A and B are shown apart, each in its own frame.
Chain A
Amino acid sequence: MNRLAQKYLRPSQIPTKACHGCGIGMIENWLLQAIDELGLKQDDVIFGTGIGCVGRQTFATWGGDNFGATHGRALPVATGLKLAQPDKKYLIVVGDGDAASIGTSHLIHAARRNLGVVVVCEDNMGYESTGGQFSPTTPAGYVTNSSPYGMVEPSFDPCDVVKAAGATFVAETTATQWHQTVKIVKKALQNDGFSFVHVRFPCNENFGAYALGTRDTLKNLEWIYEHTQGRKADGSDTDFVWETGIKHDASNSRPEFSKLLRDMNGRVQAGVEKRPPGSGGH
């Protein structure tokens, strides 16, 4: 076990049940590096997740307090928790299903409220734990087990969505960019507001096998890397390009959601004289 896993994770819950070559464990290690470099302790961070590959493989690995919400609802749970435990850091690690499909409305409104959490969307570009169906982040035209003729829908970029909704920190990175990812997650954790980090990683068993034609981890990582550069190894252009890096940084520029409510409570309580119960209704 490596030093960071020993320091922060639960020995009984790792290694996870993830498939061989899956990027989830590697990305989690990078998250630990960011946490460690910021000097955060287990008790400082609440780890929340959802359903699917990312939910199942990361739940209860964190050595501190953990929650695994129903599919898509990690952010509503975090919204309630943040009211009760405002001083904690929240690392909400979810997949593209949770963040970009079933839970997108919660993502939008958490961004709008500037809820003080870091959402790490670990995106394997499809529903891989159910056997590899397309998701809203599957590139258009690619073959999956529910798009055997190529996905006919356009995909969307969740970074654009949360930025438009008011997120105060938005970044995109991939499982091929270690140092950049650590740097981004550190910045995200330092924003007292809504931070969104989109991390693409390969699924070898499904997306790799069906969309890219290989279960070879390195080839699938290379395919992702090429699309961050816009250029393949043979020098030709890729079919599309993912711009990675920090896309929007307005960290600490506006009040965090639970702070807004606490401040309002302070104003209300200062302005209301002591009145008996039952006086407040009308």
Chain B
Amino acid sequence: MPALDLDVKGTLVAPWVDWAARHNKGRRLLEAGTYALTEGAIAAGCRVFAGYPITPATDIAEYMSKRLPQVGGYYVQCEDELAGMHACAGASLGGLKAMTATSGPGYTLMHDAYGWAITNEIPLVVVDAMRVGPISGITGAPGQGEFYVARYATHGGNFETIVVSPSSVQEAFWLTVDAFNLSERYRTPVTILTDQVVSDMWEDLFIPDEYDGLDFVVPRRHNLMMPFFPVGGADLDVPPNIIGRGTGVCVSAYTHTEEGYDIEEMEAQWAQTYRLVNKIRHHRDALTRYEVLGIEDAEVIAVAYGADARTVKTGVLEARREGIRAGFIRLITLWPFLDELFERDVPYVVCELNYDGQLVREVMRAAPDKRKVHFMGKSAELHTVAEVAAGLEGVARSGRVPELPYIWTEVR
């Protein structure tokens, strides 16, 4: 096979493009995604990990148990994921940056704490290393089944969520720092929605020499006075509340006043919802992270995220080598959804690791013509380059994805 045309340069829109250029003194390692996620958290100032081991996120717990005591932090192996995320919320309320890591079965259990952290505006980071499901599924196989679950990470509605997804070991490092920054700035939990392949695979990893001098890390600040909850507003960069400094702050599961008192009034419910939704919606611009390639003149555009985007991107390059003007969109920010990337009225081929079709539904909603949005769902295994190229070629030449073994195309 002739060499791929690697001259086609993609564009990466993410804050770590600048970080990596400015902080280039460090060490190159061969390491796992779980290791990069751990080190990214330590670099971001994470000092508490509370969680429950689960494949394929277990190695994060193990790395954390070794690293945190070295930097004066705390590893707590909890009795379950409910306890894990609540303990992270408690630690964050006490003034320490915190993270937990899990997979789908544990992520579901965390929804209790997720809502508590959302409503109380508690910064923390949750890693969900997705495996194929439902439920336990195959523990060592990748899946992308929590695209919507991560958006709706708790019940009750009236909130927006921030969800980001890396596609390489190196990106997992930078993106973890970024996730901590976002959680601090937006005062909300942030999900890193990764998958079994990214977490388990070993790749080249650059790590800066010193974590102390990383000027892009958003430090923890403390809100020491009223209002504890600026309800009715949408300000970014409100310092998180702290318990233990005698401010008299109150946090709870209830609809609250700006003091944090529980209240059962329509006006208060409206004001709280306004803040939870609009502190994210009004500052969407600061949440834009993606990679694109050749979309300006593409006749067909492949869409993917996470590890699957690696083979999908190569499939796009392969299709281009075969004369198809194929483009590529890799979403890094999954939520809020980047509608603006789907403005061109061309066919989209959405590749994701589930048969039910999740990401594809959002692309259908965002694209000018949903009839031109095609689905290539696969389960428990990444798309092959040949599959992606065949799909793009089929859509470009005859308007449909050809029949391929183990690929589902129906979304109804």
Partners in one complex: yes
Q: What CA separation (Å) do A12 and B261 show in the bound complex?
A: 10
Q: Which residues A239-282 have CB closer than 8 A to chain B?
A: 258, 261, 264-265, 268-269, 272, 276-278, 280-281
Report yes or no: A73 in contact with B69, Cβ–Cβ below 8 A.
no
Which of the residues B72, B205, B251 comes within 8 Å of A68, measured between beta carbons? B251
Minimum C-beta distance from B256 to chain A (A): 9
Q: What CA separation (Å) do A42 and B244 show in the bound complex?
A: 11
| B interface secondary structure, majority | mixed
* B247 proximity list for chain A (CB < 8 A): 65
Question: Is the C-beta of B253 less than 8 angstroms from some C-beta in chain A?
Answer: yes
Given contacts A77-B87, A80-B94, A83-B91, contact A66 B250 (CB under 8 A): yes
Question: Is the C-beta of B322 less than 8 angstroms from some C-beta in chain A?
Answer: no
Which of the residues B87, B209, B211, B251 comes within 8 Å of A67, measured between beta carbons? B251
Report yes or no: B116 in contact with A65, Cβ–Cβ below 8 A.
no
Chain A, residue nearest B78 (CB) = A76
Q: Which residues B35-86 have CB closer than 8 A to chain A?
A: 35, 38-39, 42-43, 48, 50, 63, 66-67, 69-70, 72-74, 76, 78-80, 82-84, 86
Given contacts A77-B90, A277-B42, A278-B27, contact A106 B243 (CB under 8 A): no
Q: Which residues A58-93 have CB closer than 8 A to chain B?
A: 59-60, 63-73, 75-85, 88
Minimum C-beta distance from B245 to chain A (A): 8
Report yes or no: A281 in contact with B93, Cβ–Cβ below 8 A.
no
Minimum C-beta distance from B268 to chain A (A): 14
Instruction: Give the interface centre of A70, A277, A280 by most chain B CB atoms within 10 Å.
Output: A277
Question: Is the C-beta of B158 less than 8 angstroms from some C-beta in chain A?
Answer: no
Question: Is the C-beta of B96 less than 8 angstroms from some C-beta in chain A?
Answer: yes
Which of the residues A67, A81, A106, A280 comes within 8 Å of B91, measured between beta carbons? A81
Question: Is the C-beta of B329 less than 8 angstroms from some C-beta in chain A?
Answer: no
Report yes or no: B244 in contact with A268, Cβ–Cβ below 8 A.
no
Report yes or no: A81 in contact with B244, Cβ–Cβ below 8 A.
yes
* B407 proximity list for chain A (CB < 8 A): none
Report yes or no: B86 in contact with A73, Cβ–Cβ below 8 A.
yes
Report yes or no: B29 in contact with A278, Cβ–Cβ below 8 A.
yes
Question: Is the C-beta of A13 less than 8 angstroms from some C-beta in chain B?
Answer: yes
Give the interface size class of chain B.
35 or more
Which of the residues B210, B248, B249, B253 comes within 8 Å of A51, measured between beta carbons? B253
Question: Is the C-beta of A157 less than 8 angstroms from some C-beta in chain B?
Answer: no
Question: Is the C-beta of A56 less than 8 angstroms from some C-beta in chain B?
Answer: yes
Report yes or no: A65 in contact with B115, Cβ–Cβ below 8 A.
no
Q: Which residues B86-144 have CB closer than 8 A to chain A?
A: 86-96, 98, 112-113, 115-116
* B38 proximity list for chain A (CB < 8 A): 281
Q: What CA separation (Å) do A261 and B50 show in the bound complex?
A: 13
Minimum C-beta distance from A24 to chain B (A): 15
Report yes or no: B72 in contact with A79, Cβ–Cβ below 8 A.
no
Question: Is the C-beta of B309 less than 8 angstroms from some C-beta in chain A?
Answer: no
Which of the residues B42, B48, B210 comes within 8 Å of A80, measured between beta carbons? B48
Q: What CA separation (Å) do A258 and B78 show in the bound complex?
A: 14
Given contacts A280-B66, A280-B67, contact A68 B48 (CB under 8 A): no
Question: Is the C-beta of A160 less than 8 angstroms from some C-beta in chain B?
Answer: no
* A264 proximity list for chain B (CB < 8 A): 69
Report yes or no: B89 in contact with A80, Cβ–Cβ below 8 A.
yes
Question: Is the C-beta of A105 less than 8 angstroms from some C-beta in chain B?
Answer: yes
Minimum C-beta distance from A45 to chain B (A): 10
Given contacts A64-B246, A65-B249, contact A80 B88 (CB under 8 A): yes
Chain A, residue nearest B154 (CB) = A70
* B259 proximity list for chain A (CB < 8 A): 60
Question: Is the C-beta of B208 less than 8 angstroms from some C-beta in chain A?
Answer: yes
Report yes or no: B50 in contact with A80, Cβ–Cβ below 8 A.
yes
0/1 interface trace, chain B 227-254, chain A, CB 8 Å (1 if under) = 0000000000000000111111111111
Chain A, residue nearest B115 (CB) = A70
Chain A, residue nearest B120 (CB) = A67
Report yes or no: B252 in contact with A60, Cβ–Cβ below 8 A.
yes
Question: Is the C-beta of B319 less than 8 angstroms from some C-beta in chain A?
Answer: no
* A83 proximity list for chain B (CB < 8 A): 48, 74, 76, 90-91, 94, 96
Q: What CA separation (Å) do A43 and B242 show in the bound complex?
A: 13
Question: Is the C-beta of B357 less than 8 angstroms from some C-beta in chain A?
Answer: no
Q: What CA separation (Å) do A88 and B246 show in the bound complex?
A: 11
Q: What CA separation (Å) do A63 and B249 show in the bound complex?
A: 9
Minimum C-beta distance from A152 to chain B (A): 28
Q: What CA separation (Å) do A43 and B247 show in the bound complex?
A: 9
Question: Is the C-beta of B387 less than 8 angstroms from some C-beta in chain A?
Answer: no
Report yes or no: B244 in contact with A85, Cβ–Cβ below 8 A.
yes
* B302 proximity list for chain A (CB < 8 A): none
Report yes or no: B79 in contact with A70, Cβ–Cβ below 8 A.
no
Report yes or no: B115 in contact with A85, Cβ–Cβ below 8 A.
no
Q: What CA separation (Å) do A81 and B94 show in the bound complex?
A: 5
Question: Is the C-beta of A46 less than 8 angstroms from some C-beta in chain B?
Answer: yes
Minimum C-beta distance from A50 to chain B (A): 9
Question: Is the C-beta of B262 less than 8 angstroms from some C-beta in chain A?
Answer: yes
Given contacts A84-B91, A268-B70, contact A79 B76 (CB under 8 A): yes
* B76 proximity list for chain A (CB < 8 A): 79-80, 83, 261
19 pairs, A vs B, C-beta closer than 8 Å: A46-B244, A63-B248, A64-B248, A73-B112, A75-B83, A76-B113, A77-B89, A80-B50, A80-B90, A80-B92, A84-B48, A85-B94, A105-B79, A105-B80, A268-B69, A276-B210, A277-B43, A277-B207, A281-B31
Q: What are the 3 closest A-B residue pairs judged by CB atoms, nearest first? A: A84-B94, A80-B90, A68-B252
Residues of chain B whose beta carbon lies under 8 Å from any beta carbon of chain A: 26-27, 29, 31, 35, 38-39, 42-43, 48, 50, 63, 66-67, 69-70, 72-74, 76, 78-80, 82-84, 86-96, 98, 112-113, 115-116, 205, 207-211, 243-254, 259-262
Residues of chain A whose beta carbon lies under 8 Å from any beta carbon of chain B: 10, 12-13, 42-43, 46, 51, 56, 59-60, 63-73, 75-85, 88, 105-106, 108-109, 258, 261, 264-265, 268-269, 272, 276-278, 280-281
- Told that A73-B113, A83-B94 touch, could you supply 5 new A-B pairs with CB distance under 8 A? A65-B244, A80-B86, A83-B91, A84-B48, A269-B70
